[in-house]
Amino acid sequence: MSQNFEAKKRKVEVAQRELQEAVSGERKRLLAERAAIDKQLADLDSFSGTKPAGKRRTGIRNEVLATIKKHAKGISSADIRTAINAVDKAGVQSVSNALAALKKAGQIVAKDGNYKAK
């Protein structure tokens, strides 16, 4: 009976090792697939014109002013952010800073939450 138990125990250990190897192989395959998908998404972002994280937006004041000038009746800051695709945290702050600078320079006026060019 002891030999039968030992044989079953070895079979279980072998099966556990095989299962661990299979899981490890599947994990590696999935990680490689995820890396490929992440690369594809990054490539799509570069084609869609979105700014990758950590990149500084240059010329934001000009973009904001041009967007405001296109809307003679006025435009909200949320609509400005959407129009120039500045929807991430850095983009929101950049638009806010640009609006403040343009307002201080006397290039725009704010009334009832909308901005108009002078």
**Quick check: is 54 in a domain?**
no
pTM value?
0.52
Mean pLDDT of 16-26: 94
Same domain, yes or no: 41 and 69: no
CB 62 within 8 A of CB 40: no
Token readout for 40 is 């594809």
Same domain, yes or no: 40 and 69: no
Q: Which of 4-13, 40-49, 61-70, 84-93 has the lowest mean pLDDT?
A: 40-49
Side-chain-facing half-sphere of 34: CA atoms under 13 Å: 6
Task: List pLDDT tens digits, range 34-67.
Answer: 988 888 888 777 666 655 555 555 688 999 999 9
Domain count of the fold of the chain: 2
We report the CATH number of the domain holding residue 111 as: 1.10.10
Same domain, yes or no: 6 and 44: yes
Which domain range does residue 93 map to?
Answer: 60-117
Same domain, yes or no: 66 and 30: no
Same domain, yes or no: 68 and 106: yes
Same domain, yes or no: 80 and 110: yes
